[in-house]
Amino acid sequence: MKFEGEHLLPGQLGHFFVLLAFISSLLSTIAYCTASFKKELVEKASWIKWSRIYFYIQCFSVFAVFAFIFIICSNHYIEYLYAYKHTSKELEFKYLLACIWEDQGGSFLLWSIWHCVLGLVLIRKSKEWEAPVMTVVSVAQLFLAMMIMGVYISGVKIGNSPFVLTRNGIDAPIFNRPDYLNLIKDGVGLNVLLRNYWMVIHPPILFLGFASTIVPFAYAYAGMQSKRFGDWVKPAIPYALFSACVLGVGIMMGGKWAYESLSFGGYWAWDPVENASLVPWLIMVAGLHTMVIYKATGHSLRASYFFILLSFLFVLYSTYLTRTGVLGDTSVHAFTEAGNAMTNLLRTFLWFFVLGSLGMFFFNYKKIPAVIKEESTTSREFWMFIGALVLFLSSMFIIGLTSIPVYNKTTGISWLVNKFNGGPLALPEDPEFAYNKVMALVAIIIGILTAVTQYFKYKNTGNKEFLRKIALPTFIAALITVSLAIFYPVDYDKKGPGFLIALYLALFATIYAVTANAMYIKTGLNGKLKAAGGSVAHLGFGLMIAGMIISSGNKKIISEERYKAFAIPMGVDPLTKQQDNAAENINLIRHLPTRMGDYHVTYLNDSAGHEKDRRFFHLLFQRKNEQTKAVTESFVLTPDVYIMKDNNMSSNPDTKRYPTHDVFTYISYTINPENNIDTGSYKIVELKKGDTAFYSKGYLVYNGPNKNHKRIIPGTPLMHVAADITVVAKDSSRYHAEPVIMVEREDPFLVKAGKDSVKLTPLDDTMYAQNLYLRFVNVDPVKETIQLGIKESERMIDFVTLKAYVFPYINLVWLGLLLMSIGMLMSMFYRLKVPGSSTIAVLLITAAWLFYMFFIATN
């Protein structure tokens, strides 16, 4: 059958380039691998020449694949499954990229693109290491190309192609018609949860972080392959710094996204997906420190190999965890069940690198040089190594807990688990606390090590000198911690005094890291900022963790029952014998101010957005002086909700940012306005000035007409007047109402020749708090009376259910991250001996960009 209107060319070309990418990466792997084993220089050079050509072809193909996917999506060619699943015509252009990485294939492609970019840099910069380093990059590219290949090789499907046609991908009778494209109006579109600028920017940064872990890994391989076991460390350190910096920023961008745009109520929840990216980062940072130790003293080379190899291997393991659906029941993230084609390929990818690299490491273990002499306890390298070890162990702890679903699915282990746990293993009642209680201890150790280690010298340090220099920062940190404890105590007693003490110790340790590193720039480096990258990064790290303790420890859910005007004692529920949980959601009735913490919050009104099904709710927050009742603070937050036709909703929060705290709110429930149709009718009463009329909850008084009313008038009527009405409810609360009547010209099409007719249009006023609608129906100038329509709605009262938080000092977290990344870049440029002026330029641009992303940008 011939189908009408299909654009088959982009798909065919795209598929061709996928295959070309596969073949060229295979060839460049073989050529680079051969080159790396050639001793003879001329021969080696000619192999490298060919390898480069294959790699260039491979890069071109990957970019071409991306270009064709982009063409298909931007033109909404919904004959392709990719476009049908991820795009829709109402989608704004800026989300087009987000559509592309929403797909599993698209994110593998993104990863592959970054490998291409890094590979091109390595070809220029890696000199004698090029052949072995690029062998590793090419193998990884080979696997990534297979992920998006979607071909059958001897009956086994390899990967999923992004160029599958909708009619081949979905089985439906509609595809028996040649004109099916005329019948499908639009694609499914981007998941509303992901319609947000973070979805555009976060995946590229995070994937650059993931992709960049391969470079130190490849250098470690090159060290073993070339038998020059220690020489790879020096050129690999800048790449490790780059990787730690980008991955760190990527992870925290995810946190910022979760905090700002998703209704998780925080930036970190120990969700498996978050953990999966944190673990490679922790190991990379551990490896970075052991590499620095090796370069300075010759110690810790074996540990450097181990950590750098594991960092990349855990990127692969994380990919496996998050892409195969194995975490299905434990994460709030929606996972795609990848299907066997993908799961098996990912397993092969993982096992290939695990067995290959670790096998090589253990095979060469004895040959890797190690210093026989032990480190002195007063040496810098000793404490750096301990710090790296603690980071590594903490990462093993995190991945150990995250992998719980894997244990339940692995035969043998699952039997053991069942026996000891009395059923398949699951995280405890408070999963976050299971992580926090261990990580608080880790923060204490790491904080103190971060503070003191730089004050030790390599090899050996005089005790006196060390104590003299460390005394002042220690004192200042203790002073800050004590004054915080007195004036701004961490208010977190939910987990008992033991954990609170641990939090205070961790707070001291991280503040100590800040003060000690800040002062080290002066006392240790004599203010030499160029060399201060490490100190700045450590300072930022300390600040970030301290900010996390302060902001999370003092987070308040102000929509909780207990922050209302009067405290309701919380007791034991007679039915369930449970301690009443603090009801965290609050109802706001339209126009009725409600107390929440220090604020009086009023739901003003709602409005529709320019996107389909999106509603914005305007909430007025006011803080009043207790004595004078004067408003001291006032702002409007506008959280919004996508309401879908089947009553499903997706909520986007809104945040008021202050330097010291954030006020954060989102709609946790709202009724669909379409299902809330009013069936009541108006009761007409005739009123003279001063007359009274009754309604079920009170009465109202007509005070007379008012031409200078405050209502906003739509259009340009000939005349308008309001009826000034006072509503007095049974609870003696008073409201002022101004229903308006307008005299307008009749629709010009209906005007009969020579006759200028007018019509009366009412503009109702609504007392939402009383569920009362008032309509100015008519006016009788002779009797001086008005006709007033009174309606008591049968419609559900207009309200929203929301949750609101106050996050204090969350900006410390973002500021700490910014400093940490800048410090890492400073250190990287210093080691690469980049001239000062270009370093400053790049640092300034990066700092400005990060500042914009984390402090200014709003949805």
Partner 1 sequence: MKRTHIVMLVAIALAIGALLMLSTDFSTYDTIDSARNKQGKFVHVIAKLDKTSPIEYDPATNPNYLAFTAVDSLGGKTKVVYRNTKPAELEHSERVVLKGKMQGEVFECKDILLKCPSKYKDDQKELEKGIGSSQ
User: Which residues within the stretch 567-606 sit at the binding site for partner 1 (CB under 8 A)?
Assistant: 575-578, 581, 583-587
Closest CA to 231 of 79, 326, 128, 158: 128
Q: Which is nearer to partner 1, 565 or 575 (CB)?
A: 575
User: Is residue 332 within the footprint of partner 1 (CB under 8 A)?
Assistant: yes
Of 246-254, 385-393, 772-780, 827-835, which part binds partner 1 (CB under 8 A)?
385-393
**Contacting partner 1 (CB under 8 A), which of 155, 412, 422, 835?**
422
Rounded to the nearest whole angstrom, what is the least distance from the CB of residue 723 to partner 1 in the complex? 30
Rounded to the nearest whole angstrom, what is the least distance from the CB of residue 6 to partner 1 in the complex? 16
Q: Which is nearer to partner 1, 407 or 682 (CB)?
A: 407
SS3 of residue 602 by DSSP:
strand
Task: Provide φ and ψ at 386, rounded to 5°.
Answer: -60, -45
User: Is residue 403 within the footprint of partner 1 (CB under 8 A)?
Assistant: no
**Contacting partner 1 (CB under 8 A), which of 19, 23, 358, 434?**
434
User: Is residue 425 within the footprint of partner 1 (CB under 8 A)?
Assistant: yes
SS3 of residue 452 by DSSP:
helix
**Contacting partner 1 (CB under 8 A), which of 43, 179, 337, 465?**
337
Q: Which is nearer to partner 1, 52 or 299 (CB)?
A: 299
Site for partner 1 in 161-180 (CB under 8 A): 166, 169-172, 174
Measured distance CA(825)–CA(839) in Å, rounded: 9
Of 35-43, 233-241, 368-376, 696-704, which part binds partner 1 (CB under 8 A)?
368-376
For the CA atoms of 434, 438, 443, 448, what is the dihedral angle to 10 degrees? 170
User: Is residue 151 within the footprint of partner 1 (CB under 8 A)?
Assistant: no
Measured distance CA(470)–CA(380) in Å, rounded: 14
User: Is residue 298 within the footprint of partner 1 (CB under 8 A)?
Assistant: no
Measured distance CA(272)–CA(710) in Å, rounded: 54
Q: Which is nearer to partner 1, 130 or 375 (CB)?
A: 375
Per the CB < 8 A criterion, the answer to whether 170 and 81 are in contact is yes
**Contacting partner 1 (CB under 8 A), which of 59, 136, 399, 649?**
649
Rounded to the nearest whole angstrom, what is the least distance from the CB of residue 122 to partner 1 in the complex? 35
Residues 6+ positions from 401 with CB-CB distance below 8 Å: 275, 427, 434, 435
Rounded to the nearest whole angstrom, what is the least distance from the CB of residue 233 to partner 1 in the complex? 21
Measured distance CA(259)–CA(334) in Å, rounded: 18
299: phi > 0 → left, psi -120 to 50 → alpha, else beta; which? beta
Per the CB < 8 A criterion, the answer to whether 492 and 550 are in contact is no
**Contacting partner 1 (CB under 8 A), which of 796, 841, 844, 857?**
796
Site for partner 1 in 798-857 (CB under 8 A): 799, 801
Q: Order the strands of the 772-780 sheet from edge to edge.
A: 683-688, 785-792, 772-780, 765-767
Per the CB < 8 A criterion, the answer to whether 307 and 283 are in contact is yes
The 8-class DSSP code of residue 590 comes to B
Measured distance CA(774)–CA(604) in Å, rounded: 18
Closest CA to 437 of 502, 505, 481: 502
Q: Which is nearer to partner 1, 1 or 334 (CB)?
A: 334
Measured distance CA(18)–CA(79) in Å, rounded: 19
User: Is residue 479 within the footprint of partner 1 (CB under 8 A)?
Assistant: no
Closest CA to 513 of 589, 576, 455, 572: 455
**Contacting partner 1 (CB under 8 A), which of 334, 565, 630, 712?**
334
Site for partner 1 in 667-686 (CB under 8 A): 668-669, 671
Q: Which is nearer to partner 1, 328 or 489 (CB)?
A: 328
Site for partner 1 in 34-73 (CB under 8 A): none
**Contacting partner 1 (CB under 8 A), which of 646, 731, 747, 756?**
646
Of 99-107, 463-471, 505-513, 832-840, which part binds partner 1 (CB under 8 A)?
99-107
**Contacting partner 1 (CB under 8 A), which of 650, 652, 766, 811?**
650
The span from the first CA to the last CA of the chain, in angstroms, equals: 47
Task: Provide φ and ψ at 405, rounded to 5°.
Answer: -60, -30
Q: Which is nearer to partner 1, 421 or 605 (CB)?
A: 421
